[in-house]
């Protein structure tokens, strides 16, 4: 069940999600809609974008808004709730080498389902991406330094796009932009 204030679901074996990502035609049988979080990390120099490696299993070669990742059982809390910010913070540290103390003002944006196959139009995986805007006081040089020192290899390229250049960047990179990025940017009021 999904409402404007609540998402209810259950834990599933990840192999089912992977199978459905590999074969979109399995959706009617498996009906997997895994939950992921996607950040819109922006600071004084612009918005952070990461390009996935060309050989990545999921969203290969696509630009996305980091941090991003699947909500797993590590985000479960004893009262039955899931802490999506914990997942976002874990991905922030893992992918970009940035501490949760370096971000502020998390703001949920919207939920986007990857239902349409094709570059720039989603993957057909039915992943549900919860967009969350987060701010950082870190400038471009500091973001790149943190990524180089502590980030993983989730992104083949990392760039900070100035706010004034966002619309042009999205047009230039439309063929390799993941589906949720422009939606999240509009909802965050950055486009």
The average confidence (pLDDT) of the chain is 88
pLDDT of residue 117: 56
User: What residue ranges define each of the domains in the chain, with the CATH number in brackets?
Assistant: 14-187 (3.90.79.10)
pLDDT of residue 103: 97
pLDDT of residue 6: 80
Q: Give the mean model confidence (pLDDT) for residues 180-190.
A: 95
pLDDT of residue 165: 97
pLDDT of residue 123: 57
Percent of the chain with pLDDT over 70: 95
pLDDT of residue 79 exceeding 90, the answer is no
- Greater confidence (121 vs 5) lies with 5
pLDDT of residue 175 exceeding 60, the answer is yes
pLDDT of residue 116: 60
Q: Give the mean model confidence (pLDDT) for residues 77-91.
A: 89
Q: Give the mean model confidence (pLDDT) for residues 85-101.
A: 95
pLDDT of residue 10: 77
3-state secondary structure the chain: CECCCCECCCCCCHHHHHHHHHCHHHHHHHCCCCEEEEEEEEECCEEEEEECCCCCCCCCCCEECCCEEECCHHHECCCCCECHHHHHHHHHHHHHCCCHHHCEEEEEEEEEECCCCCCCCCCCCCCEEEEEEEECCCCHHHHHHHHHHHCCCCCCEEEEECHHHHHHHHHHCHHHECCHHHHHHHHCCCC
pLDDT of residue 121 exceeding 50, the answer is no
């Amino acid at each position: 069940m999904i409402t404007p204030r609540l998402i209810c679901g259950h834990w599933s074996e990840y192999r089912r999600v992977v199978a459905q990502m590999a074969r979109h035609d399995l959706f009617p049988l498996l009906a997997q809609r895994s939950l992921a979080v996607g950040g819109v990390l922006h600071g004084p120099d612009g918005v952070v974008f990461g390009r996935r490696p060309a050989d990545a299993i999921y969203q290969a070669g696509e630009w996305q808004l980091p941090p991003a990742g699947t909500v797993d059982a590590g985000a479960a809390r004893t009262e039955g709730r899931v802490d999506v910010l914990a997942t976002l913070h874990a991905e922030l540290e893992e992918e970009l080498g940035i501490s949760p103390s370096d971000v502020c003002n998390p703001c949920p944006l919207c939920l986007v389902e990857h239902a349409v196959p094709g570059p720039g139009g989603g993957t057909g995986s039915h992943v549900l991406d919860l967009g969350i805007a987060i701010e950082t006081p870190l400038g471009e040089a500091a973001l790149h330094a943190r990524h180089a020192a502590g980030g993983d290899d989730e992104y083949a390229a990392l760039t900070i796009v100035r706010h004034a250049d966002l619309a042009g960047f999205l047009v230039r990179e439309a063929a390799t932009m993941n589906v949720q990025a422009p939606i999240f940017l509009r909802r965050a009021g950055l486009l």
